[in-house]
Amino acid sequence: MAMKTPLATACAGLACLGLWVGASACAQNYYDNVVIVLDASGSMKDPLPGSNVQKMAAAKTALKTVLQQVPASTRVGLLVFSARNLRDEWVYPLGPQQPEELLKAIDLPEPQGSTPLGKYLKLGADRLLDERAKQFGYGTYRLLVVTDGEAQDQNLVDRYAPDVMSRGITLDVIGVGMRTDHTLATRVHSYRRANDPEALQRAVAEVLAEVSRPKNDQAMGEGFDLIAPIPVEVASAAITALATSGNHPIGERPRAAAPAAPAGEPTQATSAASPQAPSTSPPAPAGPTRGGRSFAFWTIVILFAAVFLLRRLGRGSRR
């Protein structure tokens, strides 16, 4: 029978805590992260059906109105494609909200150009994945697309959209003044039609309301109590498995870890004979995303493992 000491229990609890928040993150210190991909193609200059309000003007008003109601702790990014007057597509880089700067950024884009939606799905999602690595997988990650037309790089949309969703990023699309639903309508987490200014503002509000809901960590605390008896070795192995996948760029395969060099042989960093060898450094740590599918999945897996181990411990104590 294994000895149960306060020190062993504390170590196990700390190891299991790492399953949720990573090596140095705290349960209370996470952020909701939203990247808005805004279509500034030429057709966004057209009026909404039955209205004299320009699509872009309606989109700007809706975003400014709703974002002022989003919690200050939410990190927001605004990514714009095809605007004729922007040097940087990241009109507002993903980060803490500075209300005045954010509102100015929303007002900037002037429509002109095409609809390379696939390219910008990847850009927005890759930035969210990068942020998730920095936050050790904790927090929520949402990509909101506001567009009025089909992509001109549909092959990239077909390739990237399923990958975005499979990584635990919530993908929402709002179709602005479209006669028919966007092709992404049945392939994303949520799709909303917006054929007038009020419907557009309502659609944006419904999407961003998800990040405004209060969080409750009571269930997580109870989960820690249940998981605490898991042996440190088991918890450490699980942490390693969870911390090395999931945050590689959209549309790409995860990079393999570099194999260990035999004793006495120079490594790539010190060998002059292989200056062109590709880098194989492991990807940044990633864990389950709170509020996403992977968070729920790993919760179930870990709890089942905890129950199994507790039963084994119980049987051993009766022998």
User: What's the pLDDT score for residue 235?
Assistant: 57
Query: What one-letter code names the amino acid at 66?
Result: V
pLDDT band, very low/low/confident/very high, at 207 (cuts 50, 70, 90):
very high
Cβ–Cβ < 8 Å for 140, 292: yes
Query: What one-letter code names the amino acid at 277?
Result: A
User: What's the pLDDT score for residue 210?
Assistant: 84
Rounded distance, CA 57 to CA 65, Å?
12
Q: Is pLDDT at 231 greater than 80 in this prediction?
A: no
CA 166 from centre of chain:
10
Domain boundaries, the chain: 11-28+217-246+284-319, 32-211
Rounded distance, CA 277 to CA 13, Å?
41
CATH number belonging to the domain at 32-211, selected among 3.40.190.290, 3.30.420.10, 1.20.1050.10, 3.40.50.410: 3.40.50.410
CA distances from 212 to 30, 69, 70, 78 (A): 14, 8, 6, 18
Rounded to 10 degrees, the C-alpha dihedral 215/293/256/23 comes to 20
Q: What is the mean pLDDT of the chain?
A: 77
Q: What is the mean pLDDT of residues 107-121?
A: 97
CB atoms within 10 A of CB 162: 14
Q: What is the mean pLDDT of residues 91-119?
A: 97
Element (H, E) at 10: helix 6-21
| pLDDT single digits (tens) 285-319 | 344 444 444 444 555 555 555 555 555 555 555 55
Query: What one-letter code names the amino acid at 290?
Result: R
Cβ–Cβ < 8 Å for 121, 143: yes
Crossing angle of helices 293-318 and 232-242, rounded to 10°: 160
Sign (positive/negative) of CA torsion 78, 81, 83, 86? positive
Q: What is the mean pLDDT of residues 175-191?
A: 96
CA 203 from centre of chain:
20
Q: Is pLDDT at 26 greater than 90 in this prediction?
A: no
Q: Which two tokens stand for residue 214?
A: 């209060």
Q: Which two tokens stand for residue 77?
A: 């990014």
User: What's the pLDDT score for residue 104?
Assistant: 97
